[in-house]
Amino acid sequence: MTHLADQLRSGSLTLWLEVAPPRGVNTQSLLERLSVLKGHVDAINLTDNALGKVKMSALVFASIVQRELGIPTVLNFSCRDRNLLALKADLLGAGAIGVAAVVALTGDKLVPATSPDGAPSPKAVHDVDAIGLLKIIAELNRGEIGEVKPLKSPPKLLAGAVANPNRKDLSRELDLLARKVEAGAQFVMTQPVFDYDTAASFAARAKTVGVPVILGILPIKRAQMAQYIATKIKDLASARSYLESYALLDPEQARARSIEHNLELMTRLASEVAGFNIMSGGGPSLAIELALKFNALRRNFERKSD
């Protein structure tokens, strides 16, 4: 965890790109797309069966990314899909392969699936929630595994939590974040933000909790995506006019609008947060484009700061 931990402590701006592992076993296509990020992002953040959709194991794909691309990885780690033994086993595996950080998640709710052959739908496990998972990570880092004998070689996992800056009741969200920090969270990664005021307000109030903030940034690929976000995701009143501005745009115009908006947003927020996690909703191409363009600005900013 040394590089990312040192980066967060030093106050230098970190840049991550979030992507889902492949749906099947072929990794080559996605690796080729991600290869352009080498030297431009500090980590690739891998989702964990997000929205209850089956993907390749993020732990396995992390090892492939690190081996083939040499880019550090961060794992989103869900309690929903693993019992207590599996959680500990996979966390030890993450430590063994050198995963840079683990983000503790309770996990999205599972929607009952319909199957032609009448197969049963998956069920959530939830032996622990995100706070319980953070406590487990802290225990493993100390060499405690819940057995008589301590670990001879404990992992050194950098633990993160999630938060939603868009909540109407931000005080409740910050209280929950404080509990996660108490349980062992060393940084917080947020749900996507779309406007400066919401993001800046959360970042300022999170400082009182004493945890570095990595803001989620979600590029908009097309009008339909903006409409879906506006109608399906709660607490986005402050971003309503921005999302509605995509209504009459064709895909090319939407991409250009999103790049322009997010570059401006990230530039304004750069001095107020620890970094950004650019999300790949609807595929990684636009997120990769945004990451490359912001990294160029980041280098210029850092040179001027020196």
Q: Which mean pLDDT values do the consecutive 10-residue runs of the chain (306 residues) have?
A: 79 93 93 96 91 84 97 93 92 95 83 61 81 96 86 94 93 96 97 95 94 96 92 84 93 96 96 95 90 89 50
pTM of the full predicted structure? 0.92
* Residue 113, pLDDT score: 60
- pLDDT the model gives residue 306: 42
Residue 112: count of CB within 10 angstroms of its CB? 10
- Distance from C-alpha of 254 to C-alpha of 225, rounded to nearest angstrom: 10
State the DSSP H helix or E strand holding residue 67, giving kind and residue range, or none if neither.
helix 58-69
The beta strand positions in the chain, using DSSP E, are 14-19, 43-46, 73-78, 101-105, 158-163, 187-192, 213-217, 275-279
Q: For residue 235, count CB atoms less than 10 angstroms from its CB and return exposed for 0-12, middle for 13-18, buried for 19 or more.
A: middle
User: What local confidence, expressed as pLDDT, does residue 94 receive?
Assistant: 96
CA angle 240, 275, 74 (to 5 degrees): 105
Instruction: Give burial (CB, 10 Å; 0-12/13-18/19+) of 87.
Output: buried
pLDDT of residue 303: 42
Per DSSP, 72 falls in state -
What pLDDT shows up at residue 5? Answer: 85
Assign a CATH topology to domain 2-222+255-299: TIM Barrel (3.20.20)
Rounded to whole angstroms, how far apart are CA atoms 19 and 79? 19
**pLDDT on residue 257:** 96
